[in-house]
Structure 1
Amino acid sequence: MSLTTALRDGRALATLAVPLALTQLAQVALTTTDTVMMGLLGTTDLAAGGLAIVIFNQLRTMGVGLITSVGNQVAAAAARAEAAEAPGDQDDRTAEPPRTARTRPSREAAEVRRIVQASLVLATLAGVVGALLMVLIGQGLTWVGQEARVVDRAQSMLLALAPGLLPCLWFQAIRQFTVGMRRPQALLRITLASVAVNAGLNWVLIHGTWGLPELGLTGVGVATSLVHLLSCLALLAAAKRDPVLAPLITWRTRGADRATLRTLTALGVPIAATYGSEAGFFSVTTLMAGSFGSAALAAHTAINQLVYIVFQIAVGLSHAASINVSRELALGHTHAARRLRNTALGCAGAVMTVVALVYLALPDLVLSPFLDAGSADDDAALDIARDLLFVIAVLQFFDCAQNIGVGLLRGLDDTRSGFRITVVGYWFVGLPAAALLGYAAGADTLGIWLGLLIGLATTAVLLLARYRRALGTRERALLPDDPAEVT
């Protein structure tokens, strides 16, 4: 592979990955702000709020998975239309997204509108069902060994978070549409603004300023739900102002095309199950950590938030690689899809190395936003968290690789393999390892995170191996457009 080709692949990946990763980081700043605010209320509120956020994230992640294939379907449709319009200039047009508005072919417009409409239907169904499940799960927390005072506060926060799930998933449906069209620029601006709004609402609702009631921990949930609603409205307004996106987006869910709805559901259910498998894996280990006491749960919550922050970089790379794989395969470029895997993993490895060095060199600084010495509970939680930093310095390499693997397979429209592999890696390997090391070996929370590491490493290896085999099958079925570039 020539240097020119490598640079072109890197530019194509970065064009989507950078704004998406920054958007993901801005989004995680919402929960990071919530976590910091909860930490100011005390260790018990941090433990309860962390438990509620884990449950919310579990259901939200599965809902997002249900509509994630929207971006790939839109990207493939756009690539086919562009190839039909100007077949002699394909490589130049796949290197970067279009920078100026132009009239889309009517066939493409109709197909994209059907996809957007169906995605909003799926988002609505997932939002309603997820909100109900959130409340029901909150009522059953006492059955899984959590402290009574933690459960009471977690239930109140879940009631406040539940209404926000619906606009959160609407936002994600519109987001996938803009990413598939390779016009995600408004996402970053809106998400950055939502961070500031969330921090302000948190402070006002927690402490009851300006004559509002003092809600404490519940105020964090109310603020989060309001921010999801405002973000959804802002992204919809931005799409309506974009001359390329505006003709393609419709808010009407009635009369959605059933064939398109079935296609998105068939692709989305395995993705939702895949995301749910991973989120469920982390949720169960959170419950396991809670069984060791509030200090262990607080330390686990802080470390989990750090992992979640860095994970967003992987999500940006994964989505960008996935969208580009869909485009390249729509054009018959299987060799380019193979190069995209190497480019994404190389970028991920470089970022994770820098993050690991920061964790190991500055542990107290990294943990200071979440935990601080002062009380007996905080001191105990801080000691546990310091040890866990050594584990996640390694864990995040595999966490990033497995997320990229899921995205690459999604680009092949192979969403079922991702689910099967995550079940094996997380539940058949990782969870037994966490239980064995955490309980039987007596390593407590440290053992749980070692089990997480083992599960993620297994999953990453299996996913990337599956992508290599599936792409090889695709290459054998199609004649490569440039045999000299097949590597």
Structure 2
Amino acid sequence: MTSLDKIERAAIAPPASAAVPGRHLAIEFAETLKLAVPIALTQLGQIAMMTTDIALIGRLGSEAMAAAALAHTVFFVSFTFGMGLVSAVAPLAAQAFGARNPHLIRRSLRVGMWAAFLMSLPMMALSFYGEPILLRLGQAPTAARLAQEYLLGLTWSVLPALWFMAIRGFMSAVNRPEPILWITLAAIPANALLVYLLLYGAFGLPQLGLFGAGLATSIVNFGTFLAGLWFAARRRPFRKFQILGHFWRVDWKLMRQLVVIGAPISLSFLLEYGLFGAAGLLMGIISTTALAAHQIALQVAAILFMVPFGIGMAATVRVGHAIGRGDAGAVRRAGYVATWLGIVLAAILTLAVVISRFGIAEIFLGENTDATAELSATLLLVGSTFFIADAIQTIAAGSLRGMNDTRVPLLFAILSYWLIGFACAYWLGFWTSLGAVGVWSGLSVGTAVYAVLLVLRFRLLASKPRRWRA
């Protein structure tokens, strides 16, 4: 063993307090919360950047706003594939951390960055053909043209954004997600300023319109990636892992494992997001009021989702650590503690939404208490069950990813979201008098089924250690 191995292995040894009898649950709760808080805040920061972009673009008019929405749809469909693959960095690195294998941690990040590079090429090509794609989908020519302008600037953010996600997975796996939060917080005002300057033209810079807004986002993504790489390569404790060592060596064996774990995650994301896109189409058929109310309720759900999403990523890391150590008891504790923490926090946030649902509708619509505001408040009330079920499924899925179990959850997603959820949403929305409320009830049913199946799956695998790496 080299001296570097000794230093690195000592650096990733588990805390001595983990062995103190009677304190396992308290320690697990504290460690999960320590990971989840900065991850959730990072996600909220990214939503803040997107919201800023939309607000600035909205000043150009409704056509620009519609074009930005279409561009984000095209961009995100392709980005989801890379996002799922890169998400596999966290469980691979976390298991290596638990097993005290610093070289495998470095290899996990390296294959994640190589996968991001290889995936970014076809993803960028899709964005370059955004206008003909949107025209074939029946969108208005003007909106499609403006969306293409935005995509031409935005598409360059694909690779740095995926690389930043890979670094985030690595940092979370070694119990230090805070630098990613600091970088994101610094990026929020930088992004707002640069989007404003290039969108409208100021201080001698050209007015580039929607292309400028997309280009500004790409520049900021490059900046966040470079900052993350600097932290990972030069700052303690990350520099001990020497993440740039042998970087140009492609590890095809581990790459295959990354794809096996990450590809089902990508497909699951697409199935979930596709369901909500389809629900929006159903709402549009019902009425414009239903569609507007749906968008408001969905935006609230997206904000609430960031809290359990952070806990789910923490669960991936904590379960992965326990898997690496071969500690069956710690695997179960990590999953159950994260799940109950998510349930409690989701219940508190859901109660706050239910109580303030009319005020939330006014934030989006002003003081006009019209039919859209009334329906928005109703959907937020109906969505109370959905919010909690969504939190449970997110955390349970994160726990299963810590076990490298992603293929069976993909089958669950097909069954729950589409065979049950979409079918119920369509039937309740169009074959009963519920309308928009019926569509959201269907979403709640599908999500609840998915949550139950994932929890049962985790219980099964947690009780059978021999199946962890199946």
Taking structure 1 as the reference length, the TM-score comes to: 0.83
Q: 1:267 aligns with which of 228, 243, 261?
A: 261
Q: What secondary structure does 1:414 align onto?
A: coil
The one-letter code matched in structure 2 to 1:386 is: A
* 1:23-172 matches, cutoff 5 A: 23-81=42-100, 108-136=101-129, 138-144=131-137, 146=139, 150-172=143-165
The one-letter code matched in structure 2 to 1:77 is: A
1:96 aligned partner: none
Going from structure 1 to structure 2, the CA distance change for 1:288 and 1:295 (only over 3 Å counts) comes to: same
For residues 459 and 44 of structure 2, the distance between their equivalents in structure 1, rounded to whole angstroms, comes to 29
After TM superposition, the structure 1 stretch with the greater mean CA deviation from structure 2, 216-225 or 463-472, is 216-225
* 1:325-404 matches, cutoff 5 A: 325-367=319-361, 370-372=364-366, 381-404=372-395
Q: What secondary structure does 1:140 align onto?
A: helix
After TM superposition, the structure 1 stretch with the greater mean CA deviation from structure 2, 130-139 or 343-352, is 130-139
* Unmatched segments (≥5 aa) in structure 1: 82-107, 479-487
For residues 222 and 137 of structure 2, the distance between their equivalents in structure 1, rounded to whole angstroms, comes to 32
* 1:242-321 matches, cutoff 5 A: 242-246=235-239, 247-250=241-244, 254-291=248-285, 296-321=290-315
In the TM superposition, residue 350 of structure 1 has moved relative to its aligned partner by 1.9
For residues 303 and 222 of structure 1, the distance between their equivalents in structure 2, rounded to whole angstroms, comes to 30
In the TM superposition, residue 192 of structure 1 has moved relative to its aligned partner by 0.7
After TM superposition, the structure 1 stretch with the greater mean CA deviation from structure 2, 114-123 or 124-133, is 124-133
Check conservation: 1:54, 1:283, Cα contact below 8 A: no
After TM superposition, the structure 1 stretch with the greater mean CA deviation from structure 2, 340-349 or 31-40, is 31-40
In the TM superposition, residue 330 of structure 1 has moved relative to its aligned partner by 2.2
Q: What secondary structure does 1:24 align onto?
A: helix
Q: 1:229 aligns with which of 222, 228, 231?
A: 222
For residues 442 and 225 of structure 1, the distance between their equivalents in structure 2, rounded to whole angstroms, comes to 46
Q: What secondary structure does 2:337 align onto?
A: helix
For residues 144 and 199 of structure 1, the distance between their equivalents in structure 2, rounded to whole angstroms, comes to 31
CA displacement, residues 380-405 of structure 1 (integer Å, 9 cap, x when unaligned): 65454333222333211111111111
In the TM superposition, residue 23 of structure 1 has moved relative to its aligned partner by 1.4
The one-letter code matched in structure 2 to 1:401 is: I
Check conservation: 1:409, 1:415, Cα contact below 8 A: yes
Going from structure 1 to structure 2, the CA distance change for 1:328 and 1:399 (only over 3 Å counts) comes to: same
After TM superposition, the structure 1 stretch with the greater mean CA deviation from structure 2, 401-410 or 429-438, is 429-438
1:438 aligned partner: 429
In the TM superposition, residue 144 of structure 1 has moved relative to its aligned partner by 4.2
1:10 aligned partner: 29
In the TM superposition, residue 65 of structure 1 has moved relative to its aligned partner by 1.2
Q: 2:459 aligns with which of 442, 457, 468?
A: 468
The one-letter code matched in structure 2 to 1:422 is: A
Taking structure 2 as the reference length, the TM-score comes to: 0.85
For residues 477 and 235 of structure 1, the distance between their equivalents in structure 2, rounded to whole angstroms, comes to 31
Going from structure 1 to structure 2, the CA distance change for 1:337 and 1:112 (only over 3 Å counts) comes to: closer
Name which structure has the greater RCO, CA cutoff 8 Å, separation 6+.
1
In the TM superposition, residue 56 of structure 1 has moved relative to its aligned partner by 2.8
The count of aligned residue pairs is 448
Check conservation: 1:198, 1:224, Cα contact below 8 A: yes
2:445 aligned partner: 454
For residues 176 and 199 of structure 1, the distance between their equivalents in structure 2, rounded to whole angstroms, comes to 26
The one-letter code matched in structure 1 to 2:336 is: N
For residues 165 and 204 of structure 1, the distance between their equivalents in structure 2, rounded to whole angstroms, comes to 22
Q: What secondary structure does 1:111 align onto?
A: helix
For residues 151 and 286 of structure 2, the distance between their equivalents in structure 1, rounded to whole angstroms, comes to 23
After TM superposition, the structure 1 stretch with the greater mean CA deviation from structure 2, 238-247 or 188-197, is 238-247
Check conservation: 2:357, 2:381, Cα contact below 8 A: no
For residues 118 and 168 of structure 1, the distance between their equivalents in structure 2, rounded to whole angstroms, comes to 16
The one-letter code matched in structure 1 to 2:39 is: L
Q: What secondary structure does 1:256 align onto?
A: coil
For residues 64 and 349 of structure 1, the distance between their equivalents in structure 2, rounded to whole angstroms, comes to 26
Q: Percent identity?
A: 33
2:234 is the counterpart of 1:241? yes
Q: What secondary structure does 2:176 align onto?
A: coil
Going from structure 1 to structure 2, the CA distance change for 1:326 and 1:445 (only over 3 Å counts) comes to: same
* Unmatched segments (≥5 aa) in structure 2: 1-20
For residues 277 and 385 of structure 1, the distance between their equivalents in structure 2, rounded to whole angstroms, comes to 25
Check conservation: 2:358, 2:374, Cα contact below 8 A: no
RMSD value over aligned CA atoms? Answer: 2.9
For residues 119 and 164 of structure 2, the distance between their equivalents in structure 1, rounded to whole angstroms, comes to 13
For residues 251 and 170 of structure 1, the distance between their equivalents in structure 2, rounded to whole angstroms, comes to 16
2:17 aligned partner: none
For residues 141 and 288 of structure 2, the distance between their equivalents in structure 1, rounded to whole angstroms, comes to 11
Q: 2:419 aligns with which of 416, 424, 428?
A: 428
